[in-house]
Amino acid sequence: MPQGLKNAPATFNRCVTHLLRSVRNRAPSDFDDVFVHSRAVNGETDVEVHKEHLRKLLGLMCKHKLYANLKKCIFGASEIPILGCLVGKNGELRQFLGLATYLRKYVENYAGKIRPLSQLLKKGAEWKWTAECQQAFDAVKQGLTKTPILAVADQDRPFHVVWDASDIAIGCALMQHDHECFVCVVYYQSRQLKPAEHNYPVHDKKLPSMKYVLAKFQVYLLGNHLQTDGQTERVNRVLGDLLKS
């Protein structure tokens, strides 16, 4: 393909994707990079399976006259750089948390539930899957599959905001009453406490959570009358001052 064509990258990427479509489940491609991943199956070792995957891929490339630069090839590695990240065999937990975090608005107290799992991914942490980790894993999965289903926000109805703080996380929920006067959850938000916030007394932990509420739900609350469920007089007084300013 001639150099300098404006649509050359897209055309080449589409061509490679089409020609290697039969092996894309085990050898996905990104423009001129192809990544082959394998694991042990049916009594064969991961190395044996990997050799077979490479044999099929290289056979397709030879058939369609696609050439690889040997100096840039990496074979039999436990992890490889992909799009600026190191992808290896130990990334299943990180992959699960990435997907779950994307859907965190559906899970009540998500940050608190995943804490045992996120601790395993910290630098220097010992990998030890405990009963607490399994409970956290099951709790997140259950939270993503059970009701309540989130409601669509109605800007013509008042909002009800609930927030709270624990020793490990702060969380909040945006709620509304529907036309049948049932309380419906519109959005869940939560995050783990920062190291310095762990030293705060209980009433001071609620202040960051209040700020977190106003920042996360600003698009819903700005310019609207809202009701809050604050559990201390200090929080209610500060919130009242914020709403008046």
Q: What is the pLDDT of residue 243?
A: 54
> Average pLDDT in the 16-22 region?
90
E-strand spans in 159-225? Answer: 159-165, 169-177, 183-192
pLDDT higher than 90, residue 55: yes
Q: What is the pLDDT of residue 232?
A: 55
Q: What is the pLDDT of residue 63?
A: 92
Closest by Cα among 173, 194, 195, 193 to 184: 173
Confidence of residue 4 (pLDDT cuts 50, 70, 90): confident
Over pLDDT 70: what percentage of the chain? 88
Average model confidence (pLDDT) across the chain: 83
Please, which residues have CB within 8 angstroms of residue 136's CB and are 6 or more apart in sequence? 113, 114, 115, 116, 117
Q: What is the pLDDT of residue 164?
A: 82
Q: Structure pTM?
A: 0.54
Q: What is the pLDDT of residue 56?
A: 92
Angle at 56 between CA 64 and CA 86, to 5 degrees: 100
Most confident residue range from 83-87, 108-112, 148-152, 178-182: 108-112
Closest by Cα among 80, 65, 69, 72 to 27: 80
Q: What is the pLDDT of residues 201-243, one digit of tens each?
A: 877 777 777 788 888 888 888 877 665 555 555 556 655 655 5
Domain ranges of the chain: 8-77, 92-145, 159-244
CATH class of 159-244: alpha beta
Q: What is the pLDDT of residues 100-136, one digit of tens each?
A: 989 888 888 888 899 999 988 888 888 888 999 999 9
Q: What is the pLDDT of residues 184-201, one digit of tens each?
A: 888 888 888 888 888 888
Cα–Cα distance, 119 to 187 (Å, whole number):
25
Q: Which residue has the higher pLDDT, 147 or 167?
A: 167
Confidence of residue 58 (pLDDT cuts 50, 70, 90): very high
